[in-house]
Amino acid sequence: MKKAFLPALLIGTAMMSATVAYADGSLFDRMGGAPVVTKVVDQLLDLSMNDPRTKRSFQKINLKRLREKLNEQICALSNGPCQYSGDSMKDVHGGLDITDAEFNGLVEHLTIALNANGVGLREKNELLKLLAPMKRDVVTK
């Protein structure tokens, strides 16, 4: 019995160490890295562009550039290996007359996409907290 106990203890300790290291990693890594962020952005845009509450905001946009910049922005905000190279939120959204309802719909879609892609509650809340201050630069009407 003692022979079986030591390997089990070592394996258990190694697994706990790996879990702690993972939990303490960057938000980007804890969310699942680039593959998950890309899926979240794709689903977010799909939902937002097809929802009557939010689709007006996405008319006449360069969808390829938007996907690229959203991926960059989430990666950079979550301490991933990216640098956001887009314009300020105020410049990007100026003149678009985004309403509270449109913004809230986008947040709802983001939450759905994060849930659908297995992002944990802690990570989801951290990301939303990082994005929340942008509301003042996005909502203009």
Domain 27-138 part of CATH 1.10.490.10: yes
pLDDT of residue 57: 86
Provide the b/e sequence for 14-39 (b: ≥16 CB within 10 Å).
eeeeeeeeeeeeebbbbbbbeebbbb
Taking the CA atoms of 12, 13, 19 and 22 in sequence, report the sign of the dihedral they define: negative
pLDDT of residue 3: 54
* Structure-block tokens of residue 131: 């994005």
pLDDT of residue 30: 98
Residue 102 and residue 59: Cα distance in Å, rounded? 13
Q: What is the pLDDT of residues 51-97, one digit of tens each?
A: 999 999 888 889 999 999 999 999 999 999 999 998 888 888 887 88
Q: Is the pLDDT of residue 124 over 90?
A: yes
Where does the pLDDT of residue 109 fall: very low under 50, low under 70, confident under 90, or very high at 90 and above? very high
Where does the pLDDT of residue 123 fall: very low under 50, low under 70, confident under 90, or very high at 90 and above? very high
Contact 123, 27 (CB under 8 A): yes
Q: What is the pLDDT of residues 3-56, one digit of tens each?
A: 544 444 445 444 444 434 445 699 999 999 999 999 999 999 999 999 999 999
Mean pLDDT of 114-140: 94
pLDDT of residue 17: 40
pLDDT of residue 10: 45
Annotated domain spans of the chain: 27-138
